[in-house]
Chain A
Amino acid sequence: MKDQGKESFCRVLATLFYTPGEELVKQIRQTTLYSFFERYIQPREGTEDLLKGFLTKGNVENLLEDLKVEYGRLFSGLCEESISLVESFYKPWTRDARCPLPFASERGLLMGDSAIHLLAIYQQCGLEVSEEFKGRPDHIVMELEFLSYLYERATDGDVKTFIEDHLDWVPLLEEEFRRFHAHPFYLSALEVLDFFLNRERERLEVEANGKKKIH
């Protein structure tokens, strides 16, 4: 996959973790979403099931309602328990050892160091977080959009740094998704994301070591 392709790939992937709408459901129903990912992923042995959640059947209205309910259950924070899609939640709130707040080194909070770091980066790049993600600049949607932005404009070194520093928490989501028996659509979305990041890590590591490109 070329960087331009990865830029698109990340933008589409980001959209999957946003509140589902009619467009998304149409793409699922028409299998265009499946085809899109199939083209980029090029399933190999052991990865055939990766995309099966994008083949979810049913009429558009029911599927949209199902996905909305599921999104609300899993991610809205309006149900009794939910999954956080925010990096800060999975990391110590700050690494500033002098911070006197009682929760300074706790996990499970918002606007941790990762969020503040990303806000500084976004500001320097002239990027603005939309109203929906105010207070969560390190939400997976934001991070994937920024990754897309990096593929478009930055070097592999920058991409590598960003993936290492800010997308290292994605594997923690896997357990959460299983615990909540997430809808197959979201399982596939996460698996594709994880697959993509792993492949990129391998590639960037190889490139950083001056070896031949493998993708």
Chain B
Amino acid sequence: MSLDDLKLTRRRFLKVTGATLGALSLSHELLDFKHWVRANAEAPVTRIPTFCNGCGNRCGIFAYVKNGRLWKIEGNPEANGNLGVICPKGHGYLHDLYNPSRLRGPLKRTGDRFEPISWEQAYKEIAQKINLILMDSGPQSIFWVNYPQSNNPYALRLMHSLGSPHYFTHGSTCYTARNAGWVTTVGDLPSNDLSNSQYIVIIGRNPAGGIDLAEVKKIVEAKEKGAKLVVVDPRHSETAILADEWLPIKPGTDLAFLLGMINIMIKEELYDRQFVKEKAVGFEQLDDEIVNYPPEWAERVCEIPAKTIVRITREMARVKPRALLHRGYHAAFGSQYLNSFQTARALAIVNSLLGNINREGGIYFPKSAQLGELQPKHPAPELPKIGKSDGTGVPGRYPLGSYGDGIAHAIPELALRGELKAGFVYHNNPLRTNPNPKRVIAGYKKLDLLVVVDTVLSETASIAHYVLPESFYLERDEAVDTKHSGKRAQVSIQQKVVNPMFDTRPGTQIIIELGKHLGVEKYFNFDIDEGNRLRLKPFGITLEELKQKGVLFVGEKWKEGFNKLETPSGKVEIHSSTLEKLGFPPIPRWEDPLVSPDSKNPSSFRLLHGKQAIHTHSMTANQPYLMAISRRYDLIRLWMNKERGRRLGLKDGDWVQVKSIVGEGRIRVKLTEGLHPSCVWLPSGYGIFSKHLKTAFDVGLSYNDFLPTLFDPTVGHAMSSEIIVQVRKTSELRS
């Protein structure tokens, strides 16, 4: 048997280039590993600005590279969003760059397995299937869903070029009620001028947990200057630790607290009379309505003492307009309750009564960079002629739903009804982050084509027909970004720091290439760099300048005051004629939550959830260092009020069974005085069920396992705190 008989040896994976076919040019010093280690310790370190991808904040960072590998990261002090600081998630997520479980190339499902295929094959097959679906079911049967990224405008362009209106973000499970409340009242979503405020009230929002580094820094700065911080939250959150006062409100009753405040402001004439007269409409109707909500009534509903509501209202009024109620985010009224939209409206009205709208130390409209357009050089596709099937913006369905965000948690329902046939999921994992996973799995599995773009085999990627691997964020150039809005707008950029390790591609490139293969190449005749140059054109800055700094200020500085708001009246709409026409209360009125725990049943609790500072959605639980922190500090537990736990015979650390109308799970309990007795609280980010995510698999529970699929009638949000669970003592062993 000679080597010539073995055809195997024709294959070579280490290829000799033509120039070196002769003698070996290798020095023994280089071959010697120990010698190489010593020599390379002195290799130069280079600094490249980019931004983090460990959560949605996209914090500005400097990445340092040595010998072609990552060396460290630091915060970019210029970036509005993080002011030079990086959180644990930013550091922990780095691990994924060198994670051997990362996707290495495109995958195609064959039966119950995946097989590696080339990009070209993947694009061709996806295009064939999409074309068939377009012919059979029309463009409206195709959707794209993503967690917001800088390249979203390109994804929207792709859907529009196919004729589909179905572009979704995760918004309906996060913030759409808050946004709708603010937009209806003041015309836009504002920001908080925390560092200049003298009195900050935060309802539900937890910037020290659902982390916003710049906000935490500004709160600390304000407190150092003497500001008071009041946190209104059923849970003693990470932000409550920073507070002067923590008010453990009954969950779902923030609206009552705010109505009580409005009552006092009007009754005692604590509001800014001039602002209301000149800049608001509907004060008279509010005056008529608000008599129904004295602080004593509010106390009965929200369990915050009337005298506390009165005192805080008076304290705020004394320092107005440098007093603010935080605009909120996910918790309390982002998408939690039936009354969340009206809670956001009431919050905007209290701020308006303080006269703090677009004022120093109050609520302000941040300057956000308006990027240039690709057209006319690259014409934009026509807007789709068909409306969204989810009913956003449609009277009689979800008229105040955000058309731009859509209602992503309706996708499974639309798929099960046969209205959606094919979907692209990018930087998102709906199987884990949407309510009612059994229903979500059934819906996504019903699709004729599911394409997932991800870096790992998430729950959603695991059931896809095709998985397109995106390069890790430090391996890719991306679209310019405007995320870092503030007192002065910023543009920022994510750029390649190290070479891609595998056969992966940047998200923007994938979108462009999909466009080219799907027959809409006339809208995608550009690359990432050209797109970026066109989008930067209005600012008179070059792509090279931006790449050098990572973040650049653009446009004018913010100025106090305003002439006209983006509302129908141009003023603060305390009374909304739009709402009146749609048949919704035009003035915030008390509205009970959809469900409430049974006060006679010791096992009955409302299930709340929220973030810990070390985890983002479902994407960080698999990072070994972050999971190690979770375990080290025993963070994977269900919070329960100590007295309620005692009545159930529970000791701290006992195992409990949690059961709702749709799900059941077991977890250890944390008994605490830091939680309202009517609820239990589950940290988000756990409950991973993709077996490919080995570190996180089967650790903890996700609140989504217990939530039914709900749609608020105004906005269509998920109402993800409208669920009652039964909690009982159990053993660790599963039945």
A residues with CB within 8 A of B: 8, 11-12, 14-15, 18, 23-24, 26-27, 32-33, 35-36, 38-39, 69, 72, 76-78, 80-81, 84, 86, 89, 93-96, 98-103, 108-114, 116-117, 119-122, 124-136, 141-142, 145-146, 149-150, 153-154, 157-158, 161-162, 165-166
A128 adjacent to B28 (CB under 8 Å)? no
Who on chain A is nearest to B33 by CB? A165
- For B11, the chain A residues whose CB sits under 8 A away are 15, 18
Return A93 CB to nearest CB of chain B, in Å: 7
Return B87 CB to nearest CB of chain A, in Å: 13
- For A113, the chain B residues whose CB sits under 8 A away are 33, 37
Cross-chain contact of A102 among B3, B12, B41, B91 (Cβ < 8 A): B91
B694 adjacent to A120 (CB under 8 Å)? no
Tell whether B5 is near chain A: CB-to-CB under 8 Å. Answer: yes
Tell whether B274 is near chain A: CB-to-CB under 8 Å. Answer: no
Cross-chain contact of A158 among B28, B501, B692 (Cβ < 8 A): B28
- For A150, the chain B residues whose CB sits under 8 A away are 24
A33 adjacent to B6 (CB under 8 Å)? yes
Alpha-carbon gap, A8 to B3, bound state (A): 7
A149 adjacent to B14 (CB under 8 Å)? yes
Provide 10 A-B residue pairs closer than 8 Å at the C-beta atoms, listed in order of the A residue.
A12-B6, A14-B13, A72-B113, A98-B41, A102-B91, A102-B625, A120-B36, A122-B14, A129-B15, A161-B28
A35 adjacent to B71 (CB under 8 Å)? no
Return A113 CB to nearest CB of chain B, in Å: 6
Who on chain A is nearest to B693 by CB? A80
Return B57 CB to nearest CB of chain A, in Å: 20
A103 adjacent to B100 (CB under 8 Å)? no
Instruction: Tell me which of B16, B94, B100 has the highest count of chain A C-beta atoms within 10 A of its own C-beta.
Output: B100
Instruction: Give the secondary structure class of A's interface.
Output: helix
Cross-chain contact of A145 among B13, B101, B116 (Cβ < 8 A): B13
A32 adjacent to B32 (CB under 8 Å)? no
- For A109, the chain B residues whose CB sits under 8 A away are 95, 98-100
Tell whether B453 is near chain A: CB-to-CB under 8 Å. Answer: no
- For B114, the chain A residues whose CB sits under 8 A away are 78
- For A121, the chain B residues whose CB sits under 8 A away are 26, 30-31
- B residues 28-68 with Cβ under 8 Å of A? 28, 30-34, 36-37, 40-41, 66-68
A96 adjacent to B37 (CB under 8 Å)? yes
A126 adjacent to B19 (CB under 8 Å)? yes
Cross-chain contact of A27 among B6, B13, B30 (Cβ < 8 A): B6
B31 adjacent to A27 (CB under 8 Å)? no
B24 adjacent to A125 (CB under 8 Å)? yes
Return B459 CB to nearest CB of chain A, in Å: 13
- For A130, the chain B residues whose CB sits under 8 A away are 12-15
Alpha-carbon gap, A18 to B624, bound state (A): 29
B residues with CB within 8 A of A: 1, 3, 5-9, 11-17, 19-20, 23-28, 30-34, 36-37, 40-41, 66-72, 91-92, 94-95, 98-101, 104, 107, 113-116, 457, 500-503, 624-625, 691-692, 694, 697
Q: Given A110-B98, A145-B14, A165-B33, does the pair A125, B20 have CB atoms closer than 8 Å?
A: yes
Instruction: Tell me which of A84, A109, A112, A157 has the highest count of chain B C-beta atoms within 10 A of its own C-beta.
Output: A109
Alpha-carbon gap, A39 to B24, bound state (A): 29
Alpha-carbon gap, A44 to B352, bound state (A): 91
New A-B pairs, 17, CB < 8 Å, besides A8-B3, A110-B501, A130-B12 = A24-B8, A32-B1, A33-B8, A35-B1, A84-B100, A94-B69, A96-B41, A99-B66, A122-B14, A125-B26, A128-B17, A129-B13, A129-B14, A135-B502, A146-B14, A149-B14, A165-B32
- For B1, the chain A residues whose CB sits under 8 A away are 32, 35-36, 38-39
- For A72, the chain B residues whose CB sits under 8 A away are 113, 115
Cross-chain contact of B8 among A15, A145, A149 (Cβ < 8 A): A15
Alpha-carbon gap, A133 to B503, bound state (A): 9
Give the top 7 A-B pairs by smallest Cβ distance, nearest first. Answer: A126-B20, A135-B501, A80-B691, A165-B33, A35-B1, A153-B24, A109-B98
Return B50 CB to nearest CB of chain A, in Å: 16
Who on chain A is nearest to B12 by CB? A145
Q: Given A96-B37, A129-B13, does the pair A101, B19 have CB atoms closer than 8 Å?
A: no
- For B37, the chain A residues whose CB sits under 8 A away are 95-96, 113, 117
Alpha-carbon gap, A101 to B86, bound state (A): 14
Alpha-carbon gap, A128 to B19, bound state (A): 12
- For B12, the chain A residues whose CB sits under 8 A away are 11, 130, 145
A100 adjacent to B13 (CB under 8 Å)? no
A128 adjacent to B14 (CB under 8 Å)? yes
B14 adjacent to A111 (CB under 8 Å)? no
Return B310 CB to nearest CB of chain A, in Å: 49
A111 adjacent to B31 (CB under 8 Å)? no
- For B25, the chain A residues whose CB sits under 8 A away are 124-126
Q: Given A116-B69, A127-B14, A162-B31, does the pair A36, B501 have CB atoms closer than 8 Å?
A: no
Who on chain A is nearest to B690 by CB? A80
A101 adjacent to B70 (CB under 8 Å)? yes
A18 adjacent to B19 (CB under 8 Å)? no
Q: Given A11-B9, A124-B27, A125-B26, does the pair A86, B100 have CB atoms closer than 8 Å?
A: yes
Cross-chain contact of A12 among B3, B27, B116 (Cβ < 8 A): B3
Alpha-carbon gap, A98 to B64, bound state (A): 13
- For A110, the chain B residues whose CB sits under 8 A away are 98-100, 501
Return B21 CB to nearest CB of chain A, in Å: 8
B15 adjacent to A128 (CB under 8 Å)? yes
A154 adjacent to B95 (CB under 8 Å)? no
Cross-chain contact of A32 among B5, B36, B104 (Cβ < 8 A): B5
Alpha-carbon gap, A73 to B2, bound state (A): 32
Q: Given A18-B13, A131-B503, A162-B31, does the pair A89, B6 have CB atoms closer than 8 Å?
A: no
- For A12, the chain B residues whose CB sits under 8 A away are 3, 6, 8-9
Q: Given A39-B1, A116-B68, A161-B31, does the pair A124, B26 have CB atoms closer than 8 Å?
A: yes
- For B23, the chain A residues whose CB sits under 8 A away are 153
- For B32, the chain A residues whose CB sits under 8 A away are 161, 165
Return A183 CB to nearest CB of chain B, in Å: 16
B8 adjacent to A120 (CB under 8 Å)? no
Return A194 CB to nearest CB of chain B, in Å: 20
Q: Given A12-B8, A128-B17, does the pair A111, B69 have CB atoms closer than 8 Å?
A: yes
Return B444 CB to nearest CB of chain A, in Å: 20
Return A137 CB to nearest CB of chain B, in Å: 9
Who on chain B is nearest to A131 by CB? B503
Cross-chain contact of A103 among B24, B68, B98, B116 (Cβ < 8 A): B98
Return A19 CB to nearest CB of chain B, in Å: 8
B6 adjacent to A32 (CB under 8 Å)? yes
Alpha-carbon gap, A27 to B11, bound state (A): 14
Alpha-carbon gap, A154 to B229, bound state (A): 71
Alpha-carbon gap, A208 to B5, bound state (A): 34
Return B391 CB to nearest CB of chain A, in Å: 39
Who on chain A is nearest to B18 by CB? A126
Alpha-carbon gap, A36 to B31, bound state (A): 30
